[in-house]
Amino acid sequence: MKVTKDKVENRQAFLTVEMEPAEVEESLEEAYRRLVKKTTVPGFRKGKAPRVMLERYLGKENLFEDALDTLIPRAYEDALKEQQIEAFARPSIEITQTGPLVFKATVPLPPWVKLGDYRNIQVTPQPLELNEDDVSSVIEGLRHQQATWEPVERAVAFNDLVVFDIESSADGKPFINQRGAQYQVLENHPFPVPGFARQLLGMSRDEEKEFELQIPPDYSRSELADKEASFKVRVGEVKQERLPELNDEFAKGIDPKFETLDSLRKQVADNLRLRAEEKVRLDFEERVIEAVVDRTEVEFPPFLVETEIDRLLDQQLRHWQESGRGLEEYLASINKTEEELREELRSPATKRVIRSLVLGKISKEEKVEASGSEIDVEIEDMMKGAAGDKKDEFRRLLNAPQSRESIGALLVRRKTIQRLTEIAEGSDIGSETTQKEAPK
């Protein structure tokens, strides 16, 4: 066997391996001995057919492929030892010729991370912003939720609720056809197509109207994009919104625990403050991580990004798969090819890979760990939302070794980010850690 290291690039080693004819023959003989034991060749007892007859019965190419299934993995492992290469993941193998047998292996190498001086990062948290207008806005939203709709004898205006019959077609095919449809006439409403709501303005009860509108080029149904749609509507009823008065009765209608409007406003303010604090915290963590990444040098094999793209794509597809639809339907809904979607996900996937590698390196430098008891506490927190009859099954799943390992990794990441935020705030008083460069 002859092994050549062609190059090392992008944390990948490129090897060319040429096998000796005797090594190939030895593997062919091993394949013959394996297959003859479980193959019945006409005219011979099982296990007794000569190799030439087995080859004739199964085909030489099938015997050769079976031999390669054993020969190439073994030769690949020997090549790694000879070149003193530490593989990070499974290689990509390509057979370039068969006489003599030559294959190329692209070997992913472990990522390389050189941390910068992350212990001197300084990031200032953004101030918490919350004012009375925010509270009033939420209260106003609650008023709209509790509003009633009353019929009126006047022309349609913005914010009215219209009950109408609609017939329509696009590109010569039925588009939206419904009797008794209810539609709130909101300015700049994009449904069913931009401009539809404005066409209803000024119409009265029992009035009919026909009009055409252009379907936008980014419409979800790509076959109708940029086509002209024809509509015919007949207004059956016009309703206007009647908002409840802002008083103690309104507050009690939201929830009996609120005895006064002031108690409702206080609860809304508290909820808004909690959400604002969470947003400030997440924003601060985001900027801290960015500051650390900016000081770090990272190299990694490309397959990590492809794997992360697969994960992000799977997350986007999950609700489609639950409804029995697959990738083709999803791509049609967003009017993109799979290649376009994967390219769109490449940047966020790359960012996630880099962050994961940097945080992983820091957790080792800082000796961040998750104890068994911490994992137990996290599992109990996760159990709080489980239904009573499913709790035991859920607990067993969470306590499975693989699940505990995943939960532990999540805790380590969380604790590492917390350590970095403490450093950025100047509240970390741990000893200085000497930064070491990972071996190439």
369, 407: one domain: yes
pLDDT tens profile 273-308: 999 999 999 999 999 999 999 999 999 999 999 999
Give start and end residues of each alpha helix (H) in 300-371: 303-322, 327-334, 338-365
Per DSSP, the three-state class of 295 is coil
- Nearest to residue 312, comparing CAs of 264, 366, 351, 367? 351
- Nearest to residue 295, comparing CAs of 61, 115, 418, 415? 115
136, 252: one domain: yes
68, 121: one domain: no
134, 268: one domain: yes
Domain assignment present for residue 431? The answer is no
39, 89: one domain: yes
CA end-to-end span of the chain: 26
pLDDT tens profile 45-94: 888 999 999 999 999 999 999 999 999 999 999 999 999 999 999 999 99
> What is the overall mean pLDDT for the chain?
91
Domain assignment present for residue 275? The answer is yes
The model carries a pTM of 0.75
325, 401: one domain: yes
Answer yes or no: is pLDDT of 435 > 70.
no
Tokens of 58: 């199964």
123, 104: one domain: no
Domain assignment present for residue 434? The answer is no
Dist CA 211 CA 310 (whole Å) = 45
Q: Residue 428: its pLDDT value, please?
A: 58
Which class for 297: exposed (0-12), middle (13-18), buried (19 or more C-beta within 10 A)? exposed
We report the CATH number of the domain holding residue 303 as: 1.10.3120.10
- Nearest to residue 199, comparing CAs of 170, 233, 164, 173? 233
| Phi and psi at residue 257, to the nearest 5° | -70, -20
Dist CA 357 CA 299 (whole Å) = 9
Which class for 232: exposed (0-12), middle (13-18), buried (19 or more C-beta within 10 A)? middle
Domain hosting residue 11, numbered range: 2-110
Q: In the listed set 298, 332, 364, which residue is the last one of a domain according to the structure?
A: 298
